[in-house]
């Protein structure tokens, strides 16, 4: 996924537009060195995450319930796609999106990444 064009994540993009209408594209990306997952938002990631954290001040409490990497980015980083999606669903208080986003993962992520979180 890293080389070339990133996969479109239409549902994730739509969900994150509820936070900020500036979101044009969103995807789940992987830090290759450490095998951790985060949400990439375009075009203004720092602005988006600042707004997100203001709208959802309990975001960090939800993140701590999952395997959450220390804050090194403006976006929370998780050890699995499943934890990332669960965190987003819990934080936004939208339990219905969890299954749909996990389904979108099977379309957009590489086979190895999907196999990793299905176990």
Summarised one tens digit per residue, pLDDT across range 104-113 is: 988 877 655 5
Question: Whole-angstrom Cα distance, residue 75 to residue 57?
Answer: 14
Is residue 36 in a domain?
yes
Type and span of the H or E element at 62: helix 59-64
Q: How many domains does the chain have?
A: 1
Is residue 34 in a domain?
yes
pTM score of the predicted model: 0.82
Question: Whole-angstrom Cα distance, residue 78 to residue 31?
Answer: 10
Domain that holds residue 67: 10-111
Query: Do 62 and 97 contact (CB within 8 A), yes or no?
Result: no
pLDDT in tens, 25-66: 999 988 876 778 899 999 999 999 999 999 999 999 999 999
Question: Whole-angstrom Cα distance, residue 84 to residue 41?
Answer: 14
């Amino acid at each position: 996924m890293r080389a070339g064009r990133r996969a479109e994540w239409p549902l994730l993009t739509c969900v994150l537009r509820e936070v900020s209408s500036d979101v044009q594209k969103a995807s789940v990306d992987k830090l290759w060195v450490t095998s951790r997952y985060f949400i990439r938002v375009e075009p203004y990631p720092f602005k988006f995450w600042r707004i997100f954290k203001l709208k959802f001040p309990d975001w960090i409490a939800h993140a701590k319930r999952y395997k959450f990497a220390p804050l090194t980015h403006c976006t929370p980083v998780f050890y699995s796609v499943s934890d990332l999606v669960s965190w987003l669903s819990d934080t936004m208080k939208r339990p219905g999106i969890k299954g749909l986003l996990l389904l979108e993962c099977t379309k957009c992520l590489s086979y190895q990444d999907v196999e990793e979180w299905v176990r």
